[in-house]
Amino acid sequence: MIRLDKYISERTEYTRSSIRELVRRKQVTVDGVPAKAPDMKIDPETASVTVCGAAVRASEYRYILLNKPEGYVSSTSEHDGKNVMELIPPELRAKDMFPAGRLDKDSLGALLLTNDGALAHRILAPSRHIPKIYIVKLDRVFQNNYIDQFKNGIKLDVNETCLPAKVRQAENCDKLAFVELTEGKFHQVRRMFKAVDNSVEKLMRVSYGGLILPETLGFGECVELLHKDVENLFRPMDFDAFCDKFSVVFSAILINR
């Protein structure tokens, strides 16, 4: 059994003091009945709680998949300019939610936000090498020799070499390519193409492990995932199978960008 105010504050953005006030105004219900006191004890497994008419979800963890648009930083700080948190509708936000991973300000695509620190830690652990797939629009035509260069490890600097990566031209455009990385160095995709004398004009992350950006999700839109969906992250799809299946869909999205 836990305190009602603790239960609500762990699952929403309401503070303990605002919950106290809402209870006083009979805006909080437990199993359909107005709550008597903020410190009343409830069973977190079975209680059905509402605040201002909206149901409070039973799980304290939330997982949001955002299709990040350009111009937003992957941060929770208001001091960094426009940040991705602004794109999450209030009803999907949770206290202590943060982006589990980063995309550059001008990058697009899949970004997971959660308040589940343990899961984020598993995702971000470098030793896990969770593959991430990006589609890029290049300044110059794709060269087939990139395939071996990426496979052998692109040298970014005198003492910075990338792990083997996969790259492939998208079928319907010679300036579009898919890249799969299993690490996350600073501006890595952009720097890898620079190292082979090309440059990235647009970059969109289309998959994160086995989590694939739904093609119906517009830029700036997000969707809530269940914990079991998020576990797909750890079951990635083969790169070539992914490209065969999704090349046309994602190429069309990036070409028109």
From 104, 139, 148, 240, the catalytic residue? 104
Residue 190 CB, shortest distance to ligand URA, in Å, is 4
108-114/200-208 β-pairing:
parallel
Binding ligand URA by CB under 6 A: which of 12, 188, 207, 251?
188
Confirm whether 139 is a catalytic residue: no
Q: Measured from the CB atom, is 93 or 190 closer to ligand URA? A: 190
Smallest gap, in angstroms, from Cβ of residue 249 to ligand URA? 20
Amino acid at site 175: K
The Cα 27–Cα 33 span in angstroms is 10
Binding mask 148-187 for ligand URA (x = CB under 6 A): ---------------------------------------x
189 near ligand URA, judged by CB under 6 A: yes
Three-class SS string for 154-200? Answer: CEEECCEECCCCEEEECCCCCCEEEEEECCCCCCHHHHHHHHCCCCE
104: contact with ligand URA by CB under 6 A = yes
| Min CB(192)–ligand URA separation in Å | 8
> Which lies closer to ligand URA via its Cβ, residue 18 or residue 83?
83
190 lies in the site for ligand URA, by CB under 6 A: yes
By CB under 6 A, is residue 29 in contact with ligand URA? Answer: no
**# residues contacting ligand URA (CB under 6 A):** 8
Give every CB contact of residue 131 below 8 A, 6+ residues apart in sequence.
180, 181, 182, 207, 209, 236, 239
Regarding 107 and contact with ligand URA (CB under 6 A), the answer is yes
* In the complex, minimum distance from the CB of residue 29 to ligand URA, in angstroms, rounded to a whole number: 44
What Cα–Cα distance (Å) separates residue 163 from each residue in 155, 187, 192, 196? 9, 15, 11, 15
Identity of residue 226: L
**C-beta neighbour count of 20 within 10 angstroms:** 16
Q: Should residue 201 be labelled a site residue for ligand URA when binding is judged by CB under 6 A?
A: no
Q: Does 103 bind ligand URA (CB under 6 A)?
A: yes
What are the start-end ranges of the E strands in the chain? 2-3, 28-30, 33-34, 41-42, 49-51, 54-55, 63-68, 98-99, 108-114, 132-138, 155-157, 160-161, 166-169, 176-181, 200-208, 211-212, 222-225
Give the Cα separation of 113 and 63 in Å (integer). 6
Q: Which two tokens stand for residue 200?
A: 């990235």
Piece of the chain touching ligand URA by CB under 6 A; list 44-52, 64-72, 102-110, 238-246: 102-110
The residue among 60 and 106 lying less far from ligand URA, judged by its C-beta, is 106
Query: Per CB under 6 A, does 203 bind ligand URA?
Result: yes
Q: Which residues are catalytic?
A: 104
Chain residues binding ligand URA by CB under 6 A are 103-104, 107, 187-190, 203
